[in-house]
Amino acid sequence: MANFPHAGQQPLVELSRAFPLTDLSATTAGADPARTYEALRAQWGPVAPVQMEPGVPAWLVLGYREFGTVARDEKLYSRDTTNWRLHREGLLPEGAAIWAYTPPVEKKPWSSFHHDGETRARLRRPLDDALDALPDAAVKERTNEVCGLLLDRLDGEEGTVDLVREYAAVVGFGAMASLFGFDSDTAEQMRQDSAVIMQEYGARTADARKRMGQALMGHVASRQAHAAVDLTSEFVRHPDFHNGREVADSMTVPLIAAAEFLTAWVALTLRLVLTDERLSARWEGGRIDLDQALDEVLWRDTPVPNSCLPRFATKDTVLGGALIREGDAVVLAMAGANRDPEFFAGELEVGNKSHLAWGTGPHACPAQRHARLITRTAVQRIRQELTLTLDVPVDEIQWASTPWVRHPQTLPARYRREATRGTEL
């Protein structure tokens, strides 16, 4: 570590004064995130100081080994925002977007995402149990229903479509909301509200939060009164949830994850198969296994490049040569660790699943099977029904500006309907 400035173990707050810190969104919205990660690694080593937004510094964990250390040690790297010094001491800038993930203590959500240890385990069990019990057929059926509705909305035999706004951004949330038992109108309102909550901070966010909270609590109450065959009813009857608020809070994370993360995975996979000549030729020739394309995205264009909610150090420690002080924010870089040259050099081996796109440790994504089924079904269905040609040069694609998720802002395409392409994937 001798070459790195923090070899002298300067605290984050001093580094943030002494150096212009890289914006986290350069790793998501920039044209070449790989280069940004490389530059950070070259300058700082496996743990780099960055700013999540102006005035909000954090450590970014780019090393594969260090990633595992942080993700698995919830005692030292807590998910509880009350351990964040900036938050605790009232130093978070007024109006900072990160407030959306780190609400005041009294409003801290009762979901596994925001807790550690036994409380995390208790709140996580219903999620795991309900998702494990969900049959593949139900996930595919609901996804296909939403795909059908979206494809029916397109006019005529040929035309133009924005594959992000009119498809990728709607399909995942629609499928997940339907699995939770929401009707399609409520689901669409909640999808719009969740987009506002994740992307803005201000009066509109407060309204969106309130409306979404009411929709969730109303739905939970209706399932408490009359159970149905859906995920909400599974949650309601689970003995580990103590009340309706815990059920509603624990529904928010999977719904928002479905909205944000599936938008990214569907959009990135469509972009890849439409722009990568090597892949599209194999696709047309019927030789591509769609799962290979999905895995290539998880490795190379990781949909969730950085963990949305940081961890917060509960005591001073040294990680990858960096001095982490009690109360510092620590962000896991899934996409950075997937490119750690010490572990992964050269071409990917087919079938290698040791990437970190799902995280690892006690907070790893509980919906990996479901996310793959939804994404695979959505990509397969649109490719079967439409012949698509991208309407924008690949190097002019604009990226959504968020520090956590990477996906094209828009993906304009021309389409022609097919009777049914029938390519088995």
Distance of closest approach, residue 371 Cβ to ligand HEM, in angstroms: 4
E-strand stretches of 28-149 = 47-53, 56-61, 77-78
- State how far the alpha carbon of 222 is from the alpha carbons of 218, 227, 276, in Å: 6, 8, 47
CA torsion 194-195-198-204 (nearest 10°) is -80
101 binds ligand HEM (CB under 6 A): no
Asked if 407 interacts with ligand HEM (CB under 6 A), we say no
Work out whether 262 is an interface residue with ligand HEM (CB under 6 A): yes
Tell me the window of 142-150, 159-167, 272-280, 362-370 that interacts with ligand HEM (CB under 6 A).
Answer: 362-370
In the list 334, 337, 378, 413, the residue contacting ligand HEM (rule: CB under 6 A) is 334
68-87 positions binding ligand HEM, by CB under 6 A: 71
* Region of 100-108, 210-218, 300-308, 379-387 interacting with ligand HEM (CB under 6 A): 300-308
Find the shortest distance in angstroms from Cβ 259 to ligand HEM.
9
Residue 224 CA to residue 226 CA, distance in Å, equals 6
- Percent helix, percent strand, percent coil in the chain, to nearest 5: 55, 10, 35
C-beta closer to ligand HEM: residue 83 or 112? 112
Judged by CB under 6 A, the residue of 313, 374, 382, 388 near ligand HEM is 374
> By the 8 A CB rule, do 24 and 36 touch?
no
Q: In angstroms, what is the minimal distance from the CB of 361 to ligand HEM?
A: 7
User: Segment near ligand HEM (CB under 6 A), from 17-25, 250-258, 283-291, 345-353?
Assistant: 250-258
Q: Which whole-number Å values give the CA distances from 72 to 246, 362, 364, in the listed order?
A: 24, 7, 10
What are the Cα distances from residue 419, in Å, to 106, 171, 243, 327, 409?
55, 22, 50, 59, 30
Question: In this chain, which of 29, 231, 332, 413 binds ligand HEM, going by CB under 6 A?
Answer: 332
Task: For residue 419, give the amino acid letter.
Answer: A
Q: What is the DSSP string of 352-406?
A: -----TT--GGGS-TTHHHHHHHHHHHHHHHHHHEEEEESS-GGGPPBP--SS--
Residue from 84, 113, 235, 404 touching ligand HEM (CB under 6 A): that is 113
# residues contacting ligand HEM (CB under 6 A): 30
* Structure tokens belonging to residue 165: 């706004």
The closest alpha carbon to 355, from 297, 398, 275, 278, belongs to: 297
Q: How far apart are CA 26 and CA 23, in angstroms?
A: 6
Q: Which residue number, 173 or 415, has a Cβ lying nearer to ligand HEM?
A: 173
The Cα–Cα gap between 220 and 214 comes to: 10
258 sits near ligand HEM (criterion: CB under 6 A)? yes
Which of the ranges 62-70, 206-214, 296-304, 315-323 carries the binding residues for ligand HEM, by CB under 6 A? 296-304
Q: Is 124 in the site for ligand HEM (CB under 6 A)?
A: yes
With contacts defined by CB under 6 A, name the span among 43-51, 146-154, 204-212, 301-309 that binds ligand HEM: 301-309
Is the CB of residue 362 less than 8 Å from the CB of residue 120?
yes
Q: Which is nearer to ligand HEM, 248 or 258 (CB)?
A: 258
Stretch that binds ligand HEM, among 238-246, 259-267, 339-347, 389-397 (CB under 6 A): 259-267
**Which residues bind to ligand HEM, rule: CB under 6 A?**
71, 112-113, 124, 127, 176, 253-254, 257-258, 261-262, 265, 298, 303-304, 307, 332, 334, 357-359, 363-367, 370-371, 374
